[in-house]
Amino acid sequence: MLYRIMPKINKKLSILGMGCMRLPLTDKKSPKSIDEKKAAGIVHYAIDNGINYFDTAYPYHEREGEKFIGNALKGNLRKKVYIATKLPTWSVNEFSDMEKFLDEQLINLKTENIDFYLFHALNRKRWEVLKRVNFEKFIDTAIKKGKIGHIGFSFHDDREIFMEIIKSYEWEFCQIQFNYLNEEFQAGIEGLKYAHQNGLGVIIMEPLLGGKLADNLPENIIKLFNKLSKKLSPAQWGLKWIWDKPEVSVVLSGMSNIEQLKENITAADSIGADSLSKEDMEIFELIKNEFNKNKQIPCTSCGYCQPCPSGVNIPTCFNRYNGANIFGNFDEAKIGYLRFVVESEQAKNCTSCRICEEKCPQSIEISKEMDLLKKFFHQ
């Protein structure tokens, strides 16, 4: 297992982190039904093979995820790993809410200290709430009491607010969505470099888009992967593309079976930064182009259209719609959109004011596309 040290944190972290949002289940229809025997086997195998960063969150597996991790890491195992979990920012309305959630999470995880603590899924609206409830005092108090080791945030919004959040506080690390298809999405490559330049460690989530960049790929994509310089699986190549970036500290993978875990560990044992050749990078561009042939809206997620007067998160809505068409997973995309895109930021709130269209570098008829999204996601 290869390790990297975050700029502000003198700890060796495994370049592969265990994402604990997709643990094996006894009932696929019930996220609460964690198959504890199989899941514990995955956790223990990961530790035995050098993974030392475990990422969970308050809502994972319908609030059962933290409890499982607490049980799985009982005894000496807790001393071998770093636990990361997240404060549910959408449920914070006052200062005491932050204290209440943290204390509950410490109980769930059966620990006196959370090594890496994040404000979960920050966006513009939640950032304003955190400032109002004095999040700085909460952090300072929690660190002084030994409840938190290191502080960061995970992020889902545009690059402008990402940079504002970084400039506004002495964060130690952040967590962003990043993969070879989402190089310009949300914080993107520019945000990755900006965070690193400001001394933050960067944790990567969704490196394989929930498995969409690893499984059931079309034949034309497979043929391109076979032209790359080494015989690796699409999943391993997807991770390699991210590990190639020296600004990245840890890549999280939600491994739900032992086969996925072994495959990713094999890659994490040998793939370092700056390891992609020029030829490999050129082939990756061809792979991205093949995926994007089914992209319906030419949005680059630049964010120039933001903020929307009606609160619509235009790049996120377009990204969800494009993803549905790229991967052909229409039903799954609708569920994900309604579940993860904040209601106040959904396409249904568009009033066709067209202010955004004056700012769009791609000259997209955004109001027309929003009508399409309303029919797709809301009817």
pLDDT tens sequence across 120-172? 999 888 999 999 999 999 999 999 999 999 999 999 888 999 999 999 999 99
Below-50 pLDDT ranges, the chain: none
pLDDT at 134: 98
CA nearest to 85, candidates 247, 198, 252: 252
pLDDT at residue number 329: 85
Q: Are residues 339 and 213 both part of a single domain?
A: no
Cβ contacts of residue 126 below 8 Å, gap of 6+? Answer: 89, 90, 92, 119
Q: Are residues 255 and 356 in the same domain?
A: no
pLDDT at 289: 93
Residues 107 and 49 occupy one common structural domain: yes
Do 330 and 194 have their domain in common?
A: no
* Predicted local confidence at residue 142, as pLDDT: 98
In single-letter form, the type of residue at position 224 comes to: L
pLDDT at 216: 86
**pLDDT one-digit tens code per residue, 32-60:** 999 999 999 999 999 999 999 999 999 99
> Is the domain of 16 the same as that of 155?
yes
pLDDT of residue 19: 95
The predicted structure's pLDDT at residue 275: 87
Six-digit token string for 146:
């030994």
The confidence score (pLDDT) of residue 244 equals 96
Supply the pLDDT for residue 265.
96
| pLDDT for the residue numbered 271 | 86
Ramachandran bin of 165, using left for φ above 0, alpha for ψ from -120 to 50, beta for the remaining angles: alpha
Look at the chain and report how many structural domains it folds into.
2
Please compute, for residue 168, the number of CA atoms within 13 A of its CA located in the half-sphere on the CB side: 16
- pLDDT given at position 303: 81
The total number of residues shown for the chain amounts to: 379
Is the pTM higher than 0.85? The answer reads yes
Do 211 and 336 share a domain, yes or no?
Answer: no
What is the domain range of residue 216?
3-283
Same domain for 32 and 173, yes or no, is yes
